[in-house]
Structure 1
Amino acid sequence: MGMKHVAVATTLIGGLAFVTPVQARAASDDGAPIGGVMLGQRGVVVGTGAKPLPKSEASSFLVADADTGQILAAKDPHGRHAPASTLKILTAVTLIPRLDKNKIIKPSQDACNVEGSAVGLTPNKIYKVHDLLRALMMVSGNDAAVALAEANGGLARTLADMNAEAKRLQALDTVAKTPNGLDQPGQSSSAYDLALIARAGLASADFREYVGTKIAKFPAPEGKHYEIANHNRLLGKYPGMIGVKNGYTTKALGSFVGAARRDGHTIIVSVMRHEGSFWGEVQELLDWGFAARGNVQPVGTLVAPVPKVKPTKPVGGPARVAPAPARPVEAAHDSPVVGIGALVVAVGLLGGVAWVVYGVRRRSRPGAGPRPGDEGVAP
């Protein structure tokens, strides 16, 4: 099914109906929000029969049953926000199947110099892709993200791959401008999309390993190594915690996607734009989700991805996944606010008149806290 971004609001003025543009949200061809009509609301929506939701200070959140895709509760799930390092979930989901994890990488000096949280790369050919993916998801290495992008053919190619993967997953609120989540104009995601992308990642054993490893050895020059520790404070603390990823910048504030599994069932919680410490709230939302699963009427669903197309093999190059064909009525996907069409219809008392107006980043070591403008561990 083709997708487009649609957003309108209706206002009555002097007896005339005006349909005007509002902030665009991911929608299907019939205008309904991706995942269900109720997900278009900005406030809290919760399934009938549920116990009261725990309080959350996040601007948006989502609680879903990862096994069925059913969304149990949400707040402004399609609201677009800067994702900070939770965008690295998309980076991992995009690059894990594209890169040989045993390939040895020599990062460029530019990659080693990336600001914000870093694993501490040096321009030596000592790192496997496997090491870099660990650093990406465990310690939020911005340097690792750029080194991985270089291994994939460069930043431009990697961003194109990331955005194509987001479209394939139907994460249409998501626009990647960096591989590491450092703030860039136009970069965005939503609580819905982060949960959707994380769910896709959890289907991969490699992804689960990277997000669920607490302590790992990381290579250093001259055959040495040091230990890195996962920034996810709920690993080993919350029963059944699998992963996934936290993020923070002073612009994006705190964001997190977490998944836990108990009694054969997995719950995903995503939160975005949280001003304080969200760890306790996430635990309460997970508890609520496990209790509500199977006992409440869902308010929407995490949709299935668009089927993959067959890989193509260009002459003289590696096999690449061909991009999905362009959707004829899809708006430009590189802006966080996309207006595609505003229809203004005025019906006068003396006759029918209609017209149409078309309108549209302190390198830090593991354990160091964030500083203004840096990507780091959430409060």
Structure 2
Amino acid sequence: MWTKIVPVTALLTAVTFTVVPDATAHATPNTPVGGEALGSHGLVRPAGVDAPPKTKATSYVIADLDTGDVLAAKDPHGRYLPASTQKMLTAVTLLPKLDKNRKVRPSANACNQEGTAVGLTPKMTYKVDDLFRALMMSSGNDAAMALAETNGGVAKTMRDMNAEAHRLQAYDTVAKTPSGLDQPGQSSSAYDLALIARAGLANPDFRRYVSTKTAKFPAPKNYYEISNHNKLLWRYQGTIGVKNGWTSKAQGSFVGAATRGGHTVLVAIMRHEGYFWEEVAKLLDWGFAVRGKAQPVGRLVDPLPDTPPQAQRAPQAAAPTGQATPAARPSLLDASASRQNGSTYTIGAIVIGGGLLFGLVWLGYGIRRRRRL
């Protein structure tokens, strides 16, 4: 009877050692996202046109935002610290989750965040809309923390942000903070920043925040004015956003997008050692000059499709290989639990049946013994 228990114990042991998910890890595809050429660490450029202008940025991507064509790139999947460009992912993740008219009283922890701040105080309440404006215009680390706390806390927000990065196929991105303040293991890439910015600019509220030059922000006594940190809004014709960042470890990072003649070009740079505004403007000029005239070197991929829970549970047709498709294949934990439950029921039936049989035998033996006495 005990031999039936051994497979269940072995199964539980196998599950324990096999399923150890990392909340911040993403499955990395075998080929570079966006195309084989984007796996290069050097400059990737189309033939038949002038090379892009030189820049001190270690990594960059120039893309046609409308078509998704990557026009040129340098080390596009190189992983670097994102600094405050990570706030784009914070906004893309939380905008659909938080009511922008909700009133929030920030915690002392949120108000005391290091680095750039908009000046939140725990003595006031703010609309979520104000916090997003502070996040994307003034790069407020205090606003980033207040939004994360409103979403249920930093841990939950990090899970949500990393899940959103995975949905966007931004596999180089690992978020550790809502603000982009440096943390070990945190990373992104110029390619991922382009993906995230593209998703953000598709949201009207996101687009409104990153394109606003100045705005009134609530204060204990009336309000004060805040300005957008993106200098291209004042300097480059057609600029519509999006976000800059800097820390001493990350150095300069920036994503900028502009629209001219009905077309939008985006430039994402990472790890720039100094003043980059004029260089980005020249990269944008080059993008507008070559779009539609040169063979793209890659593409910005679309987000993964959302699969309704009902579709995941519905029967699926067999894949050509005879195996279940990813949507239909149960997780290791679910499959193991199913097998474990089946074995448990079998063992339970054996144990109960054996117990009843033993009781009947013992009862008969007792009756015969009393008759003899």
Task: Please point out which of 287, 302, 305 is paired with 2:303.
Answer: 305
- Partners of 1:26 and 1:34 within 8 A in 2: no
Q: Partner residue of 2:38? A: 39
Q: 1:125: how far off?
A: 4.0
Q: Partner residue of 2:167? A: 168
Task: Please point out which of 270, 273, 276 is paired with 1:275.
Answer: 273
Task: Please point out which of 222, 241, 244 is paired with 2:242.
Answer: 244
State the distance in 2 between where 1:88 and 1:275 align: 20
Which amino acid in structure 2 is aligned with residue 109 of structure 1? A
State the distance in 1 between where 2:50 and 2:164 align: 36
Q: 1:328: how far off?
A: 8.3
SS in 2 for 1:236: helix
SS in 2 for 1:288: helix
- Partners of 2:83 and 2:246 within 8 A in 1: yes
Q: Partner residue of 1:11? A: none
State the distance in 2 between where 1:325 and 1:236 align: 51
Which amino acid in structure 2 is aligned with residue 301 of structure 1? R
Q: Partner residue of 2:63? A: 64
State the distance in 1 between where 2:329 and 2:182 align: 28
State the distance in 2 between where 1:57 and 1:41 align: 18
Which amino acid in structure 2 is aligned with residue 227 of structure 1? E
Q: 1:39: how far off?
A: 0.4
Q: Partner residue of 2:179? A: 180
**Alignment pair present for 1:294 and 2:296:** no
Shift of the 59–325 alpha-carbon distance from structure 1 to 2, 3 Å rule, reads farther
Q: Partner residue of 1:353? A: none
Which amino acid in structure 1 is aligned with residue 112 of structure 2? N
State the distance in 2 between where 1:232 and 1:311 align: 40
Shift of the 131–310 alpha-carbon distance from structure 1 to 2, 3 Å rule, reads farther
Shift of the 125–79 alpha-carbon distance from structure 1 to 2, 3 Å rule, reads same
Question: TM-score, structure 1 length as denominator?
Answer: 0.74
Q: Which has the larger radius of gyration?
A: 2
State the distance in 1 between where 2:272 and 2:144 align: 24
Which amino acid in structure 1 is aligned with residue 240 of structure 2? I
Q: Partner residue of 1:133? A: 132
Greater share of helix: 2
- Partners of 2:62 and 2:265 within 8 A in 1: yes
List runs of 5+ in structure 2 lacking aligned partners: 1-24, 311-326, 333-373
Question: TM-score, structure 2 length as denominator?
Answer: 0.75
- Partners of 1:25 and 1:79 within 8 A in 2: no
State the distance in 2 between where 1:181 and 1:256 align: 13
State the distance in 2 between where 1:183 and 1:326 align: 38
| 4+ residue segments displaced more than 3 Å | 24-27, 309-312, 324-329
**Alignment pair present for 1:254 and 2:252:** yes
Q: 1:303: how far off?
A: 0.4
- Partners of 1:26 and 1:173 within 8 A in 2: no
Greater share of strand: 1
Of 298-307 and 45-54, deviating more is 45-54
**Alignment pair present for 1:284 and 2:282:** yes
List runs of 5+ in structure 1 lacking aligned partners: 1-23, 313-323, 330-379
Indicate the structure whose relative CO is greater, using CA pairs within 8 Å and at least 6 residues apart: 1
Q: CA RMSD in A?
A: 2.1
